[in-house]
């Protein structure tokens, strides 16, 4: 049976593909989302944190205000469309590890207005880890698995989702005015690859330079039931129901999703300094972040195949960046609105020529 042709075929239902599907549906397009349902993906294990001030130098996350305001509005809208809850605005605690860190922060404080909600927060359970002090900042958290699950359910109910694995090179026919996937009896006007780390194997975009980074996380249980905040101190700790998610490592050499003793050791060393009570590790997982060589996301049409697009490179900020970028890509796809060169896939082809 031939399926009805769709406007856009989206390959991958991680944060990128899901968010793009919502943006295109809102713009009136029909979509078909394809995903093979891998158990371990970057989106499935991400903590979904949206953190305005990051790293030891207390850098403001790139274009924070624009990304965050679009993200919070977008997730609220999808919550209301799906009748589920998966997004929270919350304050996060950042504890200094050294006196030097505290001095760096004090030197930058005047530039962090609006992001720091308290310079003298109540450290509560974390008093012992706050010898050098800390601060509280605004932020958000997407419960990524719930977001993906609720979205998938909605796409399924609209006949806009198929669970399947696609070999892009062998199973997709790219014709001048249509894309055909014969094994699914599916035709679309446009194709967008949202395959995360798997896009490194995409034939059409082999000049795009990925620099994927493996990340490991732990889910733990502790008897201390007072931990209700996201805390950063060398690692992050994020409450999830009765458990805490702890992360994350960065490794650019091993791109398997196997968990490692080194990863566990790195996380527990830092966790032991942060958590006063005993804990039990209930889960240890790893996945690969789709990071680019120049650390910028990558979106847009192939320069020669204008019905083939990519949406990728969300790195460690998928939850924050996907809604705004998906809107930009939607505008490009529907109205040919140009993309800034630092985000556009064209930058990789320019370097090639």
Binding site for ligand FAD (CB under 6 A): 11-17, 34-36, 38, 41-43, 45-49, 165-166, 194-198, 215, 217, 247-248, 287, 289-290, 312, 314-320
The greatest distance separating any two alpha carbons of the chain, rounded to the nearest whole angstrom, comes to: 68
Q: What is the C-alpha to C-alpha distance for residues 298 and 311, in angstroms, rounded to an integer?
A: 6
Strand partners of residue 217: 247, 285
Give SS3 for 17: helix
Return the number of the residue (129 or 246) whose C-beta is nearest ligand FAD: 246
Q: What is the C-alpha to C-alpha distance for residues 142 and 32, in angstroms, rounded to an integer?
A: 24
Nearest 5°: the CA angle 283, 297, 40 is: 20
Smallest distance, Å, CB 216 to ligand FAD? 6
CB atoms within 10 A of CB 83: 8
Q: DSSP readout, 277-315?
A: S-EEEEEEEEEEE--BTTS--EEEE-SS-TTEEEEE--T
Q: What is the C-alpha to C-alpha distance for residues 8 and 35, in angstroms, rounded to an integer?
A: 14
Smallest distance, Å, CB 111 to ligand FAD? 23
Return the number of the residue (17 or 300) whose C-beta is nearest ligand FAD: 17
Smallest distance, Å, CB 168 to ligand FAD? 6
Cβ atoms of 314 and 322 closer than 8 Å = yes
Token readout for 351 is 């370097």
Smallest distance, Å, CB 12 to ligand FAD? 3
Return the number of the residue (14 or 52) whose C-beta is nearest ligand FAD: 14
Return the number of the residue (172 or 276) whose C-beta is nearest ligand FAD: 172
Return the number of the residue (298 or 333) whose C-beta is nearest ligand FAD: 298
Return the number of the residue (95 or 166) whose C-beta is nearest ligand FAD: 166
Question: Left (φ > 0), alpha (ψ -120 to 50) or beta: where does 133 sit?
Answer: left
Return the number of the residue (134 or 215) whose C-beta is nearest ligand FAD: 215
Smallest distance, Å, CB 58 to ligand FAD? 18
Smallest distance, Å, CB 221 to ligand FAD? 19
Smallest distance, Å, CB 297 to ligand FAD? 9
Smallest distance, Å, CB 36 to ligand FAD? 4
Residues across the chain: 353
Return the number of the residue (176 or 182) whose C-beta is nearest ligand FAD: 182
Q: What is the C-alpha to C-alpha distance for residues 227 and 236, in angstroms, rounded to an integer?
A: 13
Give SS3 for 42: helix
What phi and psi, each to the nearest 5 degrees, are found at residue 230? -80, 130
Cβ atoms of 209 and 348 closer than 8 Å = yes
């Amino acid at each position: 049976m031939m399926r009805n042709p769709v406007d856009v075929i989206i390959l991958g239902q991680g944060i990128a593909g899901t968010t793009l599907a919502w943006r295109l549906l809102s713009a009136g397009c029909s979509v078909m989302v394809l995903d093979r349902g891998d158990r371990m993906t970057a989106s499935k294990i991400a903590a979904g944190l949206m953190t305005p001030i990051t790293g030891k130098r207390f850098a403001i996350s790139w274009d924070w205000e624009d990304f965050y305001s679009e993200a919070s509005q977008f997730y609220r809208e999808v919550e209301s469309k799906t009748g589920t809850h998966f997004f929270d605005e919350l304050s996060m605690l950042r504890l200094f590890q050294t006196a030097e860190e505290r001095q760096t922060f004090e030197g930058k404080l005047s530039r962090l207005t609006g992001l720091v909600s308290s310079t003298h927060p109540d450290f509560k359970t974390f008093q012992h880890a706050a010898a050098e002090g800390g601060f509280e900042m605004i932020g958000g958290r997407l419960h990524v698995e719930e977001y993906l699950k609720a979205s998938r359910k909605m796409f399924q109910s609209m006949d806009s989702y198929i669970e399947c694995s696609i070999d892009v090179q062998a199973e997709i026919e790219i014709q001048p005015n249509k894309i055909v996937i014969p094994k699914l009896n599916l035709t679309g006007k446009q194709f967008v690859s949202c395959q995360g780390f798997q896009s490194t194997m995409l034939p059409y975009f082999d000049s795009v330079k990925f620099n994927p980074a493996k990340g490991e996380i732990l889910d733990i249980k502790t008897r201390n039931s007072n931990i209700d905040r996201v805390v950063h101190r060398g690692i992050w700790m994020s409450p999830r129901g009765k458990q805490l998610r702890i992360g994350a490592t960065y490794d650019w050499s091993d791109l398997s999703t196997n968990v490692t003793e080194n990863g566990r050791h790195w996380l527990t060393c830092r966790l032991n300094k942060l958590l006063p009570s005993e804990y039990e590790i209930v889960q240890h997982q790893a996945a690969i972040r789709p990071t680019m060589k120049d650390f910028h996301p990558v979106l847009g049409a192939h320069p020669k195949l204008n019905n083939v697009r990519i949406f990728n490179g969300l790195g460690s900020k998928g939850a924050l960046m996907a809604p705004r970028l998906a809107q930009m890509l939607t505008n490009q796809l529907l109205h040919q609105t140009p993309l800034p060169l630092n985000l556009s896939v064209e930058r990789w082809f320019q370097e090639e020529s």
